Amino acid sequence: MGDSLQRALVGVIALASTCIAIELVPVSRQAAYWNRCLDSTVGWINEKSDLKRWDKKAKESLAVGVCNGAVYEPKLKTQ
């Protein structure tokens, strides 16, 4: 009886681990998409001559806002 209970528990643990792994796939895809957005936005910011004097933290802060959808102005205001 103890052996069958142990097998059942191992089966439940395996099933739970599989379900958790399956649930994490969309999260990892979204994280990869967001990281690509951040990298490409920072690259775009580095190409702009008006923004080259900004420090790294300011550029990344702007890029985070863009990737999160918080920037509403179609034209960037630097002054």
Query: Tell me: the pLDDT tens digits for 18-60?
Result: 999 999 999 999 999 999 999 999 998 888 878 878 888 988 9
Residue 36 lies in a domain: yes
User: Which tokens belong to 76?
Assistant: 């960037």
Whether 14 is in a domain gets the answer no
Model confidence, pTM: 0.66
CB 63 within 8 A of CB 41: yes
Sign of CA dihedral 52, 54, 55, 56: negative
Token pair in block for residue 25: 């796939």
12 in any annotated domain: no
Query: How many structural domains are present in the chain?
Result: 1
In a domain, residue 6? The reply is: no
For residue 44, give its domain range.
25-79
Closest CA to 41 of 17, 72, 18, 68: 68
